[in-house]
Amino acid sequence: MGLVVVGLALLDISVWVLVLMRFVDEADQTHQLPIITTTMLTFGMGASLQALLTRVGGGIFTKPAAPSAPTLSEKLKPALPPPGNPILNRPTIR
């Protein structure tokens, strides 16, 4: 599985280099490769920083749900029947 991940990463990098070589026309051949590598490194650093901040943030979508969970269970408790003894409450099987 690790080799598949590495292979897909190399394929992704190769495709991006080919795409950027096609669209970077303002530089001559000697300056084209440094522009492409700088662009790819900049996008990589931005994606890495975004992943780090998302990981450190702890999930912004789960934090508002935590305080509302106990209040929701308190609202539903009166509607639930008392648990009792499940062995005594079952119907007789013949």
Tens-digit pLDDT profile for residues 1-41: 889 999 998 998 899 888 888 888 776 777 888 888 898 89
User: What percentage of the chain has pLDDT greater than the value 70?
Assistant: 59
Give ∠ CA 44-39-8 in degrees, rounded to 5. Answer: 50
Three-state SS for 81?
Answer: coil
pTM for the complete prediction? 0.48
Query: Residues with Cβ < 8 Å from 36, sequence gap 6 or more?
Result: 17, 20, 21, 24
Confidence (pLDDT) at 1 = 84
